[in-house]
C-alpha cells in the first residue's frame, strides 16, 4: 500500500460528529455502502477530489446485506444521503471545519460548518455553509453543471457567508469541491 495514500473509512460516520448522531452516521454509512456496491466498486476504490482541493482517498465501507438493499431501495434518496456522508468526511479531512448544525429547509444549503478548534460551541464563529449534491452515475459535464447550479443556489441566499459546495459522483468516485 502506498504510504502516502489517505483513507476514508466510511464506517467512522458511526462514531458521530458534532451535528451527526451515531445512529444517523450509521445510516449515512449504509447509504454510502449501497451506492458504492451498486456501482460494483471494491474495497479500497479511489475517490478523487477535484475543484478547489486535489486529493485521493482509498474508501472502505461495510458489506451490503439484502436487508440494507431493501431499506435503501429509493435510489435518489440513497444517493443524497450517501453524498452527505462522503462530503462530511471530505470536509473533515481537508479543512479546518466540521459539521455543527443541520440547516433548516429553504435556507439554500444543507449544513453549518464550524472550526474544529472551537469545540463546536454555539454561536459558531467564522461559520461556513455546506451544500451537498449526489450523482449516482454522471460524466464531467453533469458534475460541473450540478456544481454551477449549487453555486448559484448558495449565492442567491446570504451570498456574503462562505460556502463549500460538494458534488459527489459514485460511478467513478469523485468529490468535486468548491469554496465560494
The closest alpha carbon to 10, from 18, 37, 19, belongs to: 37
The closest alpha carbon to 29, from 44, 7, 11, belongs to: 11
Q: Is the pLDDT of residue 118 over 80?
A: no
Give the integer Cα–Cα distance in Å for 162 and 117. 18
pLDDT in tens, 23-64: 999 999 999 999 999 999 999 999 999 999 999 999 999 999
Amino acid at each position: 500500500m502506498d504510504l502516502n495514500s489517505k483513507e476514508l473509512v466510511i464506517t467512522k460516520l458511526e462514531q458521530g460528529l458534532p451535528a451527526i448522531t451515531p445512529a444517523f452516521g450509521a445510516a449515512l454509512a449504509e447509504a454510502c455502502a449501497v451506492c458504492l456496491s451498486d456501482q460494483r466498486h471494491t474495497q479500497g476504490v479511489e475517490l478523487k477530489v477535484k475543484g478547489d482541493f486535489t486529493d485521493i482517498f482509498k474508501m472502505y465501507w461495510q458489506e451490503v446485506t439484502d436487508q440494507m438493499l431493501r431499506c435503501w431501495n429509493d435510489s435518489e434518496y440513497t444517493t443524497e444521503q450517501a453524498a452527505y456522508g462522503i462530503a462530511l468526511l471530505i470536509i473533515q479531512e481537508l479543512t479546518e471545519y466540521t459539521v455543527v448544525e443541520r440547516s433548516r429547509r429553504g435556507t439554500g444549503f444543507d449544513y453549518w460548518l464550524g472550526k474544529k478548534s472551537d469545540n463546536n460551541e454555539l454561536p459558531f464563529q467564522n461559520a461556513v455553509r455546506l451544500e451537498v449534491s449526489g450523482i449516482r452515475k454522471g460524466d464531467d459535464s453533469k458534475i460541473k453543471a450540478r456544481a454551477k447550479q449549487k453555486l448559484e443556489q448558495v449565492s442567491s441566499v446570504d451570498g456574503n457567508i462562505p460556502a463549500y459546495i460538494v458534488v459527489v459522483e459514485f460511478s467513478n468516485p469523485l468529490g468535486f469541491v468548491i469554496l465560494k
